[in-house]
Amino acid sequence: MDQQGIGHGGYGFSHAGHGLGSSVGSRYSQSNNPRRTLAPSTQGSGLSYLPSLQRCVATLEESTQRLKSTVAILDEATAGYPRLKAITSHKKQYELVSEQDVTNAQSEVAKDVEPQLIMVTEKATQIVLQLEQKEYQLMDSIQLAKTMAEQRTQRQKAARSGLSSIKKLQSLTKRKEELSRTVTELDTVIEQKRYEFHELVRKEEARGSSNPAKRLKLTAERESRDLDKKEEEKRKEINRRQLELESIRKKIDEKRRSLINLRRVADTQTNNPPAHKNFDPSGPWKMYSSHYNFLGGAIQTELRVDTRDKNTYEETFERIFKLYEAELDPKQSKTDKEMDELTKDKSRKMAQLRNLCRQLFPDECIGQTMVRLLELLIENPHHEVYHRDLVQSEFPPEEERRHNLGRVMTILKQFGVIEPMLETVVDPEGEEGQEPKEQLVLRIKFEDNTLEDQGVEESADDLGSDLQ
C-alpha cells in the first residue's frame, strides 16, 4: 500500500507540475487520512512525454495568435458591410439633369460672363494708367517744388553775396576818389611851388644880387631833386604794381583761354572729327592783328595812365605784347594735338561709361536709360537738355515702367552728376500779356575754379584802385 501511495503520489505530483494533478491530489488526500508528504519518484519513465507536451502547448499558442489576427482582419474587412448593404439596396429610379445639360449650361454662363470680365479688366487697366499718370505728375510737381526751393535759397545767397560785393565796390570807389583828389591836390601844390620859385628867381635876377639868388636856387634845386626822387619812387612803385597786375591778368587770361578751349573741345567732340582737318579758329586766334590796339586802349581806360609816364608805359607795353604774341603762336598747333587726343579719349571713355552703367544697373533698363541721358547731355554744346524734349522724343511718360527716367534722374542727382534747374521761357510768338513759362532743365554739374578766378580778379581790381 505504501509503495502504491508513493507511486500515485509521484504521478499526482508530476501532473500537478503541468497543471493537471490537482484533482488526483485531492482524491488521494480524501481517501488516505492523515495527510502525508509526497516526494517525486526517482524513476525516469514518468518524464518521457514532457518535450512533446511542450511542443503541443507552443503550437496551440501560435494557433490562438493566428486566430486572433484573422478575427481582427475580418472585423476590418466587414466594418463597412452595413453601409455597402444599404447602398446596394437602393435603386436608381430617375435622373433629374443630364451631364450634357450641365456642360451646355456651363458654356452659356461662360459666354455671358466673359465679355463682362473683359470690360471690367479694361476699365481696371485704364484706372491704373490714370493713377500712374497722376503719380508721374505729382513726382514732376515735387521735383519742380524742390528745384524752386533750391533756386530760392541760391538766389538769397547770391543776393547776400552781391550786397557784400556792392559794399566792397562802393568802398573801393570812395577810396579811389579820395586818392585821386589827394593826387590832384599834390600836383597843384607842386605847380604852385615851382611857379613861386621861378618868380623868386626872376625877382632876384632883376635886383642884381647874385649870391642870394644862388642860395635860393640851390635850395630850390634841392627841393626839386627831392620831388623828382619821390616822383621816381612813385613811378617805380607804379611800374612794379603794373607788372604784378600784368602777371595776374595773364593768369586770368590763361584760365579763360583754358575754359574756352575746353568748351571748344566739347563742341567738336560731338561728331568726333580729326581736329587738324576741321579746325575752325575762334575769336582770339583771328584777332592777332587787332590785339595790340584793343589791349592798349583797354588798359589805358582801366589804369588811366598819366601823360608824363606815357613813354615808359608804351615801352613796357610793347615788350609785354611781343612776349604775348610769341606765346600765342605755338599754341595753335599744340591745341590741334590736344584736340586729337581728347577726341580719342572721349570715345574710349564713353565706351567705358556704357559698360559701367550697364554693369552697375543691369535690371529694369536703368543702365540703358542712364547711358542715353548722359550721351544726350554730353552731345549738347551747352551740356543741358529740356525735360519736355526728353519726354516727347526719347522717354514717353506712359512707358515709365520700361525706361524708369524718374529713378535715373534721382540717382544721378544724388551722385552729383546732374543738377535740375528751372528756366523761365517767354514765347516770342505769343501774346503780349502772356506770362512766362517755367521749364525743367537738366544740366551736367561741373566743378570749376570760378571762385578762385573771382578772388584773383578782385585782388587785381584792388591793386588797380590802389594805383589809380
- What is the per-residue pLDDT across 239-259, written as a single tens digit (0 to 9) for each? 887 787 787 778 777 777 776
Q: Which of 239-253, 294-308, 396-410 has the lowest mean pLDDT?
A: 294-308
If asked whether residues 315 and 241 sit together in one domain, one would say: yes
What are the strands of the beta sheet with 384-386, ordered from one edge? 384-386, 437-444, 418-425
In a domain, residue 87? The reply is no
Question: Based on the number of CB atoms within 10 Å of its own CB, is 162 exposed (0-12), middle (13-18) or buried (19 or more)?
Answer: exposed
If asked whether residues 247 and 278 sit together in one domain, one would say: yes
If asked whether residues 438 and 364 sit together in one domain, one would say: yes
Mention every residue, 6+ apart, whose C-beta is less than 8 A from residue 438: 144, 422, 423, 424, 425
* pLDDT over 70 percentage in the chain: 60
For residues 361 and 363, give the distance between their C-alpha atoms in angstroms, rounded to a whole number: 6
- Express each pLDDT in 77-98 by its tens digit: 888 888 888 877 776 665 677 7
pLDDT confidence bin for 70, thresholds 50/70/90? very high
Q: State the CATH number of the domain containing residue 390.
A: 1.10.10
- Express each pLDDT in 32-68 by its tens digit: 454 444 444 444 445 678 888 889 999 999 999 999 9
Please tell me which residue, 334 or 60, carries the higher pLDDT value. Answer: 60
Please tell me which residue, 107 or 269, carries the higher pLDDT value. Answer: 107
Per-residue model confidence (pLDDT) at position 18: 41
- Do 384 and 377 form a contact (C-beta atoms < 8 A)? yes
In a domain, residue 315? The reply is yes
If asked whether residues 249 and 268 sit together in one domain, one would say: yes
If asked whether residues 368 and 432 sit together in one domain, one would say: yes
For residues 302 and 285, give the distance between their C-alpha atoms in angstroms, rounded to a whole number: 24
> C-alpha grid cell for residue 351?
565706351
For residues 104 and 106, give the distance between their C-alpha atoms in angstroms, rounded to a whole number: 5
> C-alpha grid cell for residue 56?
503541443
For residues 177 and 298, give the distance between their C-alpha atoms in angstroms, rounded to a whole number: 20
**Other Cβ atoms closer than 10 A to 172:** 16
Per-residue model confidence (pLDDT) at position 57: 93
In a domain, residue 291? The reply is yes
The CA radius of gyration of the chain, in Å to the nearest whole number, is: 60
If asked whether residues 397 and 464 sit together in one domain, one would say: no
In sequence order, the β-bridge partners of residue 439 are 423
In a domain, residue 139? The reply is no
- Do 361 and 370 form a contact (C-beta atoms < 8 A)? yes
E strand or H helix that includes residue 53 = helix 50-77
Per-residue model confidence (pLDDT) at position 436: 62
Average pLDDT on 338-352 reads 80
pLDDT confidence bin for 127, thresholds 50/70/90? very high
In a domain, residue 271? The reply is yes
If asked whether residues 317 and 348 sit together in one domain, one would say: no
If asked whether residues 311 and 362 sit together in one domain, one would say: no
Domain that holds residue 464: 234-329+451-468
For residues 154 and 416, give the distance between their C-alpha atoms in angstroms, rounded to a whole number: 17
In a domain, residue 277? The reply is yes
In a domain, residue 281? The reply is yes
Per-residue model confidence (pLDDT) at position 464: 44
Q: How many domains does the chain have?
A: 3
Please tell me which residue, 63 or 170, carries the higher pLDDT value. Answer: 63
Q: Which of 231-240, 430-439, 459-468 has the lowest mean pLDDT?
A: 459-468
Q: For residue 223, is pLDDT > 90? A: no
For residues 200 and 210, give the distance between their C-alpha atoms in angstroms, rounded to a whole number: 12
Q: List % helix, strand, coil for the chain (3-state, nearest 5).
A: 80, 5, 20
Please give the model's pTM, rounded to 2 decimal places.
0.28
In a domain, residue 274? The reply is yes
If asked whether residues 241 and 317 sit together in one domain, one would say: yes
